[in-house]
Amino acid sequence: MIGSVQQGNLMTDIQAMFSDPHAVAKYTEGPPRFVPGYNSMLSMAAILLAERAREDARILALGAGGGLELRAFAQAQPRWTFDGVDPSAAMLDLARQTLGPLASRAHLHRGYVDATPEGPFDGATCLLTLHFVDAAERRRIASEIRRRLKPGAPFVIAHFSIPDRDDERPLWLSRYSAFLAASGVEPDKAAAARDAVTNHLEILTPAQDEAILRNAGFSEPTLFYAGFTFRGWVAYA
């Protein structure tokens, strides 16, 4: 949730959700249950960053509220430092709690992509966030991140991204709903989650997501993760 353009009721609802004390308190339980292979995806993201980032790298994380990816990266690389950006003060407070003694290595900034320090950074991530903003804002975000990265630095993203051929999208969304139910989500809530994704998120195709990276000046966008309705790429500044 890091775009700077609010998209009507959707962005208002999202901001309210990530400011609700009950929702925030339970947030860290969500991604491992709702995103297939979530913890492995974080491990892969850390590996991809480390391929080109130095041992004392400075890493940018957009949509860093909650702190799960910051904690995973900090544990994987004991000399990295981080700048995390998120518009929700409550989620940033949760990130500090999640990081615990690792919090001294992270500078947390409240705001959207424009609140991001200029860098230059040795790598960047934007995980489970870009599906909350439209295509035009994604292009702007990608360009702003590219501008803040050192030449050749990796950018790792992951979010909803679904093929749009014939009846393929409804099939993948049905599979996502089934995954939620298999993860212990009540069937009616799993169906509601599918409806919310279908009706309220602007989900692009993998080809469109890769095109945004290329148009922003990134090279070699490479798929590294796929979990039903989610895809993840690494690309280079």
Q: Residue 4's pLDDT is what?
A: 35
Euclidean distance between CA atoms 3 and 42, whole angstroms: 22
Q: Is the pLDDT of residue 227 over 50?
A: yes
For residue 2, tell me if it sits in a domain: no
pLDDT at 3: 37
The closest of 127, 109, 169 to 31, measured between CA atoms, is 127
Within-domain flag for 3 = no
Give the tens place of pLDDT for each residue, 14-33. Answer: 555 555 666 666 677 789 88
Backbone φ and ψ of 191, nearest 5°: -65, -40
CATH code: domain of residue 55: 3.40.50.150
Share of the chain above pLDDT 90, in %: 76
- Residue 29 is predicted with a pLDDT of 75
Asked if residue 1 belongs to a domain, the reply is no
Residue 160 in tokens: 């909803």
Residue that the structure tokens 């000399």 belong to: 79
Of residues 24 and 232, the one with the higher pLDDT is 232
- Nearest CA to 28 out of 90, 95, 76, 86 is that of 95
Which residue spans within 30-110 are E strands per DSSP?
A: 58-62, 81-86, 106-110
Which residue is associated with the tokens 């934007």?
126
Q: Which amino acid is located at 179 in the chain? A: F
pLDDT at 59 over 70: yes
| Model confidence, pTM | 0.90
Number of domains the chain is built from:
1
Q: What is the mean pLDDT of residues 162-180?
A: 90
Q: Which of 202, 206, 203, 212 is nearest to 225 (CA)?
A: 206
Q: What is the pLDDT of residues 189-210, one digit of tens each?
A: 899 889 989 888 999 999 999 9
pLDDT at 175: 94
Q: What is the rounded CA–CA span in Å between residue 205 and residue 231?
A: 10
Let me know if residue 74 belongs to a domain: yes
pLDDT, tens digit (0-9, with 9 covering 90-100), for 99-129: 999 999 999 999 999 999 999 999 999 999 9
Per the structure, the complete domain to which residue 191 belongs is given by 8-236
Flag whether pLDDT at 7 surpasses 80. Answer: no
The rounded distance, in Å, linking the Cα atoms of 115 and 122 is: 18
Round to whole Å and give the CA distance between 106 and 100. Answer: 11
Indicate if the pLDDT at residue 221 is higher than 80: yes
Beta bridge partners of 108: 84
Does 49 or 3 have the greater pLDDT score?
49
